[in-house]
Amino acid sequence: MRGHRRVHPRRSFLSTILTLEVYSRVIMDKLMLYYLSRRRRRRIAKKRRQPVSPYVESRLLCGEFVVKFGILRENERFFFKYFKVSLQVYDELYSKLEPYLKTNNLRLKSTSIVSPMERFAMTLRYLVSGHTFVDIHLAYHTGLTTVRKIVTEVCQIIIERLKEECIPKFSRALWEETEKGFLTQAQFPNCIGAIDGKHIRIIRPPHSGSLYYNYKHYYSIVLLAMCNANYEFTYINVGVQGKESDSAIFTQSRLYEQINNDLIDIPPAKALPVIHNDKPTNIAATAALPYIIVGDEAFGLSSHVMRPYARALDLNYKKKIFNYRLTRARRYIECTFGIMANKFRILHRPLNVGKDKAICFLKTICILHNFIRSRSQINDFHDIVIIPDHIRSVRGLIGNTHRDSYTLRDNFADYFVADGQLSWQDRSIY
């Protein structure tokens, strides 16, 4: 073919060898540069490395765990004051986590090891005392970075190992047990949970603008939760920005989707019982009505979510009684938040950690709260009646409320002034 030059085979072979030699030299030069730069970085890091502080080295002699833990175990009253849990609950909780804490030991620079018991005690003390990482670092004579790692790792282990036990998945048996608790304790039939949101104060995340700034004028993330009549969480949703409303969070949650698509096995509608001498009987008083979740005025009215009548309207006797009875059931979630915050004092101050760690700590607190509540002998909170002077009215959040939802609410209201009335309810609304 014209213009085509034939290359001699020997010349082609030599050019290939020369090309390979050039590539190998380039690769060797890059490897040498990488090795020298890495060696230089290690040399600089070694110069910057600080020796172990004598304060940290004294951990095995002066650390709070070494000095106080044995003495506290001998006195249950002081042990409870320090850890906010009884000695029996503490030991049971630790026994469930011990196998997993052993596989995550952190070595300090002094080559001493933080034992699993000390790691657990350090984490629990951080959550219940409200102290900062610096306070724990100074009290336990442990490095500040080590304290942060220990608390985060232990919280992650608690979530992984205890979530299924403490916050079980929805089932028909769980709904029926919850409904029985509300009927016995709050005299509100067909109720399978009380739902509300709680703002958890945080330090403003960087580059977040006003996303986390709530209507209470501070930065927060929202804990949307549902509870049963034993003040235990049955559902939690953590981490949404503080500017979002409870209703918006709920409508965007997985729980809302599962309710609308009938994916959580809610029992079929059931007739409301006759209440005699302030106690439910086995006699049916109404037609079959669906199971419902109670919330405040921030939530939209639907076939499975019930809210009070708007306070802006002139309420008649029936509507006032309904609002009172619904408030008696809804107060359980308010009390649950209060019990949790008084147990875990870290919630009394802004969480000065990143958002991911704040969510991790909140999930851990909810799980530990349920673990402690299920083993608590104190269960007399149902004698407390909380009637708030004002229920926050949020307009524009009702959504697409079906007309049948209003009829359902009126059916409950009619029941509470007829076969479902209580002897003292009239005294509570005047």
**Buried b vs exposed e over 249-263: b needs ≥16 C-beta within 10 Å?**
bbbeeebbeebeeee
Residue by residue, DSSP assigns 123-192 as HHHHHHH---HHHHHHHHT--HHHHHHHHHHHHHHHHHHHHHHHSPPP-HHHHHHHHHHHHHHT--TTEE
Cα angle at 422 between 421 and 428, to 5 degrees? 110
Taking the C-alpha atoms of residue 380 and residue 400, their distance in angstroms, rounded to an integer, is 39
- Single out the residue of 213, 232, 229, 251 nearest to residue 371, CA to CA: 232
List Cα–Cα distances, 327 to 35, 112, 239, in angstroms: 70, 55, 27
Non-local CB neighbours of 96 within 8 Å, separated by 6+ positions: 161, 162
**Which of the residues in the chain have pLDDT under 70?**
1-23, 45-50, 103-112, 312-313, 377-403
DSSP E strands in 256-338: the ranges are 270-276, 279-289, 292-294, 305-306
Cα angle at 169 between 231 and 342, to 5 degrees? 25
Pick left, alpha or beta for residue 209 (phi over 0 → left; psi -120 to 50 → alpha; otherwise beta): left
270-276/279-289 β-pairing: antiparallel
pLDDT value, residue 109: 47
Taking the model in full, what pTM does it have? 0.83
In this structure, is the dihedral angle defined by the CA atoms of residues 142, 145, 150 and 155, taken in order, positive or negative?
positive
pLDDT value, residue 48: 59
List Cα–Cα distances, 256 to 233, 294, 329, 349, in angstroms: 16, 14, 20, 31
pLDDT value, residue 253: 93
Taking the C-alpha atoms of residue 197 and residue 248, their distance in angstroms, rounded to an integer, is 11
pLDDT digits (tens, 9 = 90+) for 370-397: 999 999 865 544 434 444 433 333 333 3
Q: Is-contact 358 351, C-beta < 8 A?
A: yes
pLDDT digits (tens, 9 = 90+) for 91-114: 999 999 999 998 544 444 444 688
pLDDT digits (tens, 9 = 90+) for 161-192: 999 999 999 999 999 999 999 999 999 999 99
Taking the C-alpha atoms of residue 96 and residue 185, their distance in angstroms, rounded to an integer, is 31
Pick left, alpha or beta for residue 202 (phi over 0 → left; psi -120 to 50 → alpha; otherwise beta): beta
